[in-house]
């Protein structure tokens, strides 16, 4: 088992990967630097290997796929995850490691948004998207994570080995944040400086398509992790619509003694039935979520025993 493992997922980062590896070796001399190449065509892997990194490969395209491979293969007391584009300064890593090893933090979030991100990042829609995602998750999940989509994080062994990676692409950071909040893991923010990519280095994130996937992921995870709130909201909307359309029909009936809009009355009935069905679906799924949380706590105990055995 490594004491500290630095995990760097890479796809065509030949212009920056050597500096990233060198900076982390200098900041964390006791760490093992792992570069996972994701089908690069610009010799990123060769450059990383010459710089002193352990190079491995993931052939399924997508950042989520790379992180899944990393988390499965590497055992460490503390993990640092960073991008290979030299946007995250390595000098903040020792402080993040200290929080994991000494304070038993499960996930340290490298917070770009509280420092230089909005001035360094030249893509206004990226800035807007990061702010929107942060507000959505903090409101929906009642948390205070300052930067949801940062790629600079530190993890404990327990987090890495208990996190089910489902996302394939850039929505993986959102999934990590929501999982940690839902499972009541210890999260801290670490304010870091952010610098934009150097000239000639291009972002692999598409503002619109990847942004849409992130928002879709938030909605899906909200449904999965908080089914009572999700289906309760659906039930409330259906009930309001049903009652809203029923009132004019009922008023007409009181005035004339006749039901003049039979189709509207039928739609109202189906809307109310849908509301009832949605409400009970939320209740059943919420019970299943509660059982899943109990099982997860037992799984954490098994992972802790595994961790203790690896340390011996």
d(CA 90, CA 304): 29
The pLDDT value recorded for residue 3 is: 95
Query: In this structure, what DSSP letter does residue 170 have?
Result: T
**Structure tokens, 181:** 């909040």
Q: Give how far Cα 151 sits from Cα of 69, 98, 173, 180, 256, Å.
A: 16, 19, 7, 15, 66
The dihedral built from the CA positions of residue 160, 166, 169 and 171, taken in this order, carries a sign that is negative
Q: Give how far Cα 161 sits from Cα of 49, 70, 115, 173, 185, Å.
A: 26, 11, 31, 16, 13
What are the structural domain ranges in the chain?
2-224, 227-311
Count of CB atoms situated within 10 Å of the CB of 64? 21
Tell me if 173 sits within 8 A of 94, measured CB to CB: no
Please work out, in degrees rounded to the nearest 5, the angle formed at the alpha carbon of residue 162 by the alpha carbons of 159 and 163: 80
Tell me if 226 sits within 8 A of 117, measured CB to CB: no
* pLDDT tens, per residue, the chain with 312 residues: 899 999 999 999 999 999 999 999 999 999 999 999 999 999 999 999 999 999 999 999 999 999 999 999 999 999 999 999 999 999 999 999 999 999 999 999 999 888 767 666 656 566 677 788 888 888 888 888 888 889 999 999 999 999 999 888 888 998 999 999 999 999 999 999 887 766 665 666 666 676 788 888 888 889 999 999 999 999 999 999 999 999 988 888 888 888 778 888 899 999 999 999 999 999 999 999 999 989 999 999 999 999 888 876
The pLDDT value recorded for residue 253 is: 84
Question: Can you list the positions of beta strands (E) in 151-265?
Answer: 153-156, 187-191
**Structure tokens, 140:** 């929906």
The dihedral built from the CA positions of residue 145, 168, 84 and 203, taken in this order, carries a sign that is negative
Exposed, middle or buried: residue 195 (CB in 10 Å: 0-12, 13-18, 19+)? middle
**Letter string b/e over residues 163-177, b meaning 16 or more CB atoms within 10 A of that residue's CB:** bebebbbbbbbbbbb
The contacts of residue 91 (CB under 8 Å, 6+ apart) are 23, 27
Q: H-helix or E-strand containing 3? A: strand 2-10
The pLDDT value recorded for residue 192 is: 92
For the whole model, what pTM was predicted?
Answer: 0.83
Q: Give how far Cα 198 sits from Cα of 11, 14, 30, 41, 125, Å.
A: 16, 12, 28, 19, 19
Name the architecture of domain 2-224: Alpha-Beta Complex (3.90)
């Amino acid at each position: 088992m490594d004491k500290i493992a630095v995990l760097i997922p890479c796809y065509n980062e030949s212009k920056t990967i050597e500096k990233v590896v060198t900076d982390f070796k200098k900041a964390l001399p006791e760490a093992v630097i792992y570069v996972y190449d994701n089908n690069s065509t610009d010799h990123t892997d060769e450059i990383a290997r010459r710089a002193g990194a352990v190079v491995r490969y993931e052939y399924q395209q997508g950042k989520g796929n790379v992180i899944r491979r990393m988390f499965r293969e590497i055992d460490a007391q503390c993990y640092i995850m960073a991008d290979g584009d030299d946007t995250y300064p390595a000098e903040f890593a020792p402080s993040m490691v200290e929080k994991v090893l000494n304070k038993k933090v499960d996930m340290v979030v490298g917070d770009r948004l509280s420092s230089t991100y909005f001035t360094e990042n030249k893509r206004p829609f990226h800035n807007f998207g990061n702010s929107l995602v942060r507000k959505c998750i903090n409101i929906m999940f009642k948390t205070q994570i300052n930067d949801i989509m940062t790629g600079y994080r530190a993890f404990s062994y327990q987090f890495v080995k208990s996190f089910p990676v489902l996302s394939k692409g850039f929505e993986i950071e959102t999934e990590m944040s929501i999982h940690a909040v839902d499972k009541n893991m210890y999260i801290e923010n670490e304010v870091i400086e952010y610098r934009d990519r150097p000239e000639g280095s291009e972002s692999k994130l598409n503002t619109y398509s990847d942004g849409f996937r992130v928002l879709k992921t938030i909605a899906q995870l909200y449904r999965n992790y908080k089914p009572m709130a999700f289906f309760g909201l659906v039930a409330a909307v259906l009930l309001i619509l049903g009652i809203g359309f029923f009132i004019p029909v009922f008023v007409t009936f009181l005035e004339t003694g006749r039901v003049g809009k039979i189709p509207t009355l039928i739609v109202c009935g189906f809307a109310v039935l849908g509301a009832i069905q949605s409400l009970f679906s939320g209740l059943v799924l919420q019970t299943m979520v509660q059982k899943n949380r109990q099982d997860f706590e037992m799984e954490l105990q098994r992972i802790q025993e595994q961790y203790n055995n690896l340390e011996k």
